[in-house]
Structure 1
């Protein structure tokens, strides 16, 4: 029996599309998520009507979460010479001829944070958005653009703090750092994003796309750096560090439950790391 897609696409107006992610209970990114997003972003890039694409989630407490490392084979490229599918996605998204808006309510970590970073604009619920790059805490490396996009937004030292600590950052800290475009009161987030999308969709598409391309020239990392980071991510999965850490983390998951673990992932990563030594 075919499983329903984790991605749905809605036509809000002729110029606006909404992409909704749903993989309850904790919105882990799986291989189907990536494949479907590549298809959707490609299709929308070729549609001359589409001016704005909004990314959101229907799972309470979560935007896009991290990769499901229990299904790591999903993220292994079948052709070692080909561009990894995740890198293809973030490059396509950041260079697409439409404006992408992440409407962030809930936990946004790892690959989910990297997807948000590839979007053009990021608006976050002040009360309910949370951000993190938890990979180093688990003994592996970010591989989907976190180490390339985040320093360009928030600076080297703050990016090092976020990536090395593997901790969670609330929306207020993310706004101060420049991690998000701005935070908005949760009750106002949907209306604010709708208003921005409507405003941008009313402008000439050529002007929007060309202005974005001009800004991109001075701000986006080289594609080769993104591919190198993904290769290092795959290599890090074979290091002894994550192999030694995983049993302790699984023990915590059994004690606390996977949903509790995801609610406070940064906190529990620190506990598991200390207890694995």
Structure 2
């Protein structure tokens, strides 16, 4: 591919995926393929438990699909892009690693769908917008926007936002639960990195089990969710990390988790 719009690197035991397609990180088929490749690199990196997805573009996290390209392409080509985008979202949710969307610019349409597929969203205060405006194109979100938004904000709020396509501020996103943490812009990168590094220094197996318990359990009845939790914790007792946690507590020292 001539243009490299999505990069992966490891920084101080934190995986970092940077979206970097001027001017708005609007994505096409090549972009979502590159994003999938970056996710695969992050998944294969055994030294990390956390991945930060952020933008290298000043004013945008991601504006979603490139509408001009979408209009010009055949339905078949557009479907390839959408299918790859959906695989990317599923890979984030299925990963044993914690994904954090670091947001400091406009996060719209498919861009918000990327952010909502992440496990956590840390955002900067400021004059930019979140939104799912697909209804204004005669469509609805197609990469999980309806299902993930309703799980974050509830039925009434999700319907209100989706039926109008209206945008909302970072402060509203935080108050409604779309965003987990809100920082001053100059603090966002450092604070996100510190949090992610703490995860990567932690008990990787237990972190993965926690994500599984929540992601899978929320779709189950309480009884089945409790059963799944039991299965996950029972699998941790005889691991190195499980034993190390107990030993370190008794010996009054910091544990050294190895992810095994």
Question: Would you say the 8 A contact 1:5–1:32 is kept in 2?
Answer: no
- What is the rounded CA distance, in whole Å, between the counterparts of 2:64 and 2:112 in structure 1? 8
- What is the rounded CA distance, in whole Å, between the counterparts of 1:129 and 1:53 in structure 2? 24
Q: CA deviation at 1:205?
A: 1.1
Q: CA deviation at 1:216?
A: 0.5
- What is the rounded CA distance, in whole Å, between the counterparts of 1:181 and 1:94 in structure 2? 17
Classify the secondary structure of the residue corresponding to 2:80.
Answer: coil
Classify the secondary structure of the residue corresponding to 2:42.
Answer: helix
- Post-superposition Cα deviations, 1:115-170, rounded to whole Å, max 9, x if no partner, equal 00000110011114421001001111110000010000000111111111111110
Equivalent in the alignment of 1:55: 53
1:19-38 equivalent positions in 2, closer than 5 A: 19-38=17-36
Please identify runs of 4+ aligned residues in structure 1 that moved more than 4 A: none
Which runs of no fewer than 5 residues in structure 2 stay unpaired?
Answer: 221-260
1:131-142 equivalent positions in 2, closer than 5 A: 131-142=130-141
Equivalent in the alignment of 1:76: 79
- Post-superposition Cα deviations, 1:202-221, rounded to whole Å, max 9, x if no partner, equal 10211111111111013369
Equivalent in the alignment of 1:195: 194
Question: Would you say the 8 A contact 1:152–1:219 is kept in 2?
Answer: no
Question: Would you say the 8 A contact 1:34–1:85 is kept in 2?
Answer: yes
Classify the secondary structure of the residue corresponding to 1:77.
Answer: helix
Equivalent in the alignment of 2:162: 163
- Post-superposition Cα deviations, 1:189-213, rounded to whole Å, max 9, x if no partner, equal 1111011011111102111111111
Classify the secondary structure of the residue corresponding to 2:60.
Answer: coil
Classify the secondary structure of the residue corresponding to 1:169.
Answer: coil
The TM-score normalised by the length of structure 1 is 0.73
- What is the rounded CA distance, in whole Å, between the counterparts of 1:77 and 1:174 in structure 2? 31
The TM-score normalised by the length of structure 2 is 0.78
Classify the secondary structure of the residue corresponding to 1:180.
Answer: coil
Question: Would you say the 8 A contact 1:105–1:128 is kept in 2?
Answer: no
- What is the rounded CA distance, in whole Å, between the counterparts of 2:211 and 2:60 in structure 1? 28
Q: CA deviation at 1:87?
A: 1.2
- 2:97 is equivalent to residue 98 of structure 1: yes
- State how many pairs are aligned: 215
Equivalent in the alignment of 1:44: 42
- What is the rounded CA distance, in whole Å, between the counterparts of 2:18 and 2:128 in structure 1? 16
Larger radius of gyration: 2
Which runs of no fewer than 5 residues in structure 1 stay unpaired?
Answer: 222-277
- What is the rounded CA distance, in whole Å, between the counterparts of 2:128 and 2:218 in structure 1? 25
Classify the secondary structure of the residue corresponding to 2:182.
Answer: strand
Equivalent in the alignment of 2:218: 219
Equivalent in the alignment of 1:130: 129
Q: CA deviation at 1:91?
A: 0.7
- What is the rounded CA distance, in whole Å, between the counterparts of 2:145 and 2:164 in structure 1? 14
